[in-house]
Structure 1
Amino acid sequence: MSDRAGVAAVNQLTAEEFVLTFSRVVESYPAAAAQLCQLRPFRSTQHIVDSLAGFLESLAPADQEEVLRLHTDLAGSPADGDEGRLTAESAREQRAAGLLSLSARDRQELTQLNHRYKMKFGFPFVICARENKVATILEGLKTRLGNTRRDELEAGIAEVKKISALRIRELTQSTQDNL
């Protein structure tokens, strides 16, 4: 199965099918899928990834902040107001990173750091969980707390692009598999 076959299948989706299929590429932000749909046809999976990255970069800072605010806290809980907000994709990604089976100590530290981060920046800490484990996530959170708001907005959007790229690659593959 080639990249070309998967992309051809994506290009053949109706607009409705495309938006439904890609609606969770950017966490709880289906407008990204609608915009991406308008950019077809794609030449490769990387072309889809690059097109989405360009869309995210073109958003006004307030819209980029909204994209970040749509994410839940890492290892969030109902007490954090995250009940029912964790998408299946995020749950799978956080589980793979070990975030859904934290020790009591790590959970307490992550909760405290998440709170400090949101108080400082106004949006949740976003990191590509699939590329990290608990220790690196905690270290990254501590380090990024020292950033400026502008730097952190850029860092958060860069992480959204990583998450989205992984999800796009999976969707391109699975779209071909389902045809």
Structure 2
Amino acid sequence: MNQLKLTAINEMDRDTFVRALGGIFEHSPWVAEGCVESRPFASIAALHEAMTEVVRSSPEETVLELLRAHPDLGTRLAVTDYSASEQSGAGLDRLTPEEYERMTALNEQYVEKFGFPFILAVKGKSKDEIVASMEARVLNGARDEREEALAQIGRITRFRLEDLVDEQ
């Protein structure tokens, strides 16, 4: 993937900006749209902070839609290019039938309890670490897990911006 220069992002028209950054938050281009007027950004960190502030200041139902926009980990359904790359890097595209069954059961249990998919920044994690995290977090309370899911989205989106944007 070709990196975009931060200076170029700061100079893009609104539509180009949203097209370029609209996929950073899973199926939620409204996040990029919501921070376009905050330009210019001095750094990737400043861009990321502006994007996460859009999420933090959004109505609860909108945030819930963002959480629900994420795919189940290990799914065999079509996912965004970002998600496919991240899950492939963690080996989730190469699950044994037993691993797939376990992950599917944990995903179902998690969604039933919290109303949104299990969200984890999988970059640098193994399949076993991911399953262990699922097993632990399904025991969380609803408020704590919502906050953890948003923290994980923060990590995911920071990784994505770092991959996409060249600060120089």
With the length of structure 2 as denominator, give the TM-score of the two structures: 0.92
- 1:140 Cα offset (Å): 0.6
- 1:129 Cα offset (Å): 1.4
- The runs of 5 or more residues in structure 1 that have no matched partner are 78-82
For the 8 Å contact 1:18–1:33, the answer to whether it is kept is yes
Alignment of 1:137 onto 2:136: no
Query: What's the counterpart of residue 113 of structure 2?
Result: 120
Hey, what's the Cα distance between the residues in 2 that align with 1:121 and 1:111?
15
Alignment of 1:162 onto 2:159: no
Query: What does 1:5-154 correspond to in 2, within 5 Å?
Result: 6-77=5-76, 83-84=77-78, 86-154=79-147
For the 8 Å contact 1:126–1:160, the answer to whether it is kept is yes
Hey, what's the Cα distance between the residues in 1 that align with 2:127 and 2:68?
21
Hey, what's the Cα distance between the residues in 2 that align with 1:119 and 1:96?
27
3-state SS of paired residue (2:5): helix
Amino acid at match of 1:63: T
- % of aligned pairs identical? 30
- 1:13 Cα offset (Å): 1.3
Hey, what's the Cα distance between the residues in 2 that align with 1:131 and 1:40?
31
With the length of structure 1 as denominator, give the TM-score of the two structures: 0.87
Amino acid at match of 1:105: E
Hey, what's the Cα distance between the residues in 2 that align with 1:165 and 1:106?
28
- 1:6 Cα offset (Å): 2.6
3-state SS of paired residue (1:21): helix
- 1:62 Cα offset (Å): 2.3
For the 8 Å contact 1:64–1:153, the answer to whether it is kept is no
For the aligned residue pairs, the C-alpha RMSD in angstroms reads 1.6
Hey, what's the Cα distance between the residues in 2 that align with 1:21 and 1:166?
15
Paired residue total: 165
3-state SS of paired residue (2:123): helix
